[in-house]
Chain A
Amino acid sequence: GQNIDQPTEMTATEGAIVQINCTYQTSGFNGLFWYQQHAGEAPTFLSYNVLDGLEEKGRFSSFLSRSKGYSYLLLKELQMKDSASYLCAAVGDTGFQKLVFGTGTRLLVSP
C-alpha cells in the first residue's frame, strides 16, 4: 500500500533549529514535496526532492534518502511566523492518487 508517516505535532523555541521527519512507502517513487500550511490558509509549496541529498533554500532545507524511504525538512533560525502545519507528500506512479500526502506535522514556535 501507499503510506506517509510524519509526527503529529512538534514544539520549538524561536531562534532554534527543528527537523521534521517523514517516511514514505509508495508504489514507485518520483519525488517528494514539502508544503507549509498556516491555519485557515492554503498550503504553499516549499520544496521538491527527487535525488538523494540536501536541498537548501534560505532558512529551510529538505533532505531525501530514497534507499531509506526517508525525508526531513530542516528549519533554522525559527521565527514565530513558522508556526504552521508542514505536509509531506510523495509522488508514486500507480493508481489514481499518485501524490500521497501525510497528515501533516503541526509546528508550534514559542518565544
Chain B
Amino acid sequence: ETGVTQTPRHLVMGMTNKKSLKCEQHLGHNAMYWYKQSAKKPLELMFVYSLEERVENNSVPSRFSPECPNSSHLFLHLHTLQPEDSALYLCASSQGGRNSPLHFGNGTRLTVT
C-alpha cells in the first residue's frame, strides 16, 4: 500500500464518547499534519509533527489530542467533542520544509451528535 491512509473513513460519535483517528504514511516523509476541512472555510492546520516533535497550535481546543509514536503513524484522539467539530479531518505528510508539497489522505468524515 502506498501514500497516506486514514481510518476510519466515516465516524459518528456522541459528545461524551472518546474515539481516535488513525493515519499512516508509506512515503518516507519526516513531517505529518492534521488539518480540519469545514464547508466553505479554508483548510485549517491543527497540528504539525516534524521529526516527531510536535508544533503547538494554541487555537485548537484541548478536546483534540494528537499523538505521533513514530514518523509513519499519527493519531488524533477525540473526547467530549461539540457538534461544531463535525468536519472532514485530513492527515497529510511531507518531506518537511515549507516548500515541500503535502500528500493528503482521503480524510475521516466526522459527525458529532
Instruction: Tell me the A residues contacting B by CB distance below 8 Å.
Output: 4, 8, 30-31, 33, 35, 40-45, 48, 50, 87, 89, 91, 93, 96-104
1/0 contact string of B38-49 vs chain A (CB within 8 Å): 001111110000
Q: For the complex, would chain A's binding face be called helix, strand, loop or mixed by DSSP majority?
A: loop
* Given A101-B42, A103-B40, residue A42 in contact with residue B99 (CB < 8 A): no
Q: For the complex, would chain B's binding face be called helix, strand, loop or mixed by DSSP majority?
A: loop
Nearest residue in A to B90 (C-beta to C-beta)? A42
- Stretch among B12-20, B63-71, B78-86, B103-111 lining the A interface: B103-111
* Given A31-B99, A48-B99, A96-B55, residue A42 in contact with residue B42 (CB < 8 A): no
In the assembled complex, the Cα of A100 lies from the Cα of B102 at a distance in Å of: 13
* Given A96-B55, A96-B57, A103-B40, residue A45 in contact with residue B45 (CB < 8 A): no
A4 to chain B, nearest CB (A): 7
Query: Number of B residues contacting the other chain (C-beta, 8 Å)?
Result: 20
Cβ contacts A to B, 9 pairs, < 8 Å:
A30-B98, A43-B102, A96-B45, A97-B45, A99-B45, A99-B98, A101-B42, A101-B43, A103-B40
- B40: which A residues are within 8 A, CB to CB? 8, 103
In the assembled complex, the Cα of A27 lies from the Cα of B106 at a distance in Å of: 30
Instruction: Tell me the B residues contacting A by CB distance below 8 Å.
Output: 4, 40-45, 55-57, 90, 98-99, 101-107
In the assembled complex, the Cα of A16 lies from the Cα of B35 at a distance in Å of: 33
- B44: which A residues are within 8 A, CB to CB? 97
User: Closest 4 CB pairs between A and B?
Assistant: A42-B104, A45-B101, A101-B43, A101-B42
A44 to chain B, nearest CB (A): 7
B11 to chain A, nearest CB (A): 15
* Given A42-B4, A96-B55, residue A87 in contact with residue B99 (CB < 8 A): no
- A8: which B residues are within 8 A, CB to CB? 40
B66 to chain A, nearest CB (A): 14
In the assembled complex, the Cα of A43 lies from the Cα of B42 at a distance in Å of: 13
A93 touches B98 (CB 8 A): yes
B43 touches A87 (CB 8 A): yes
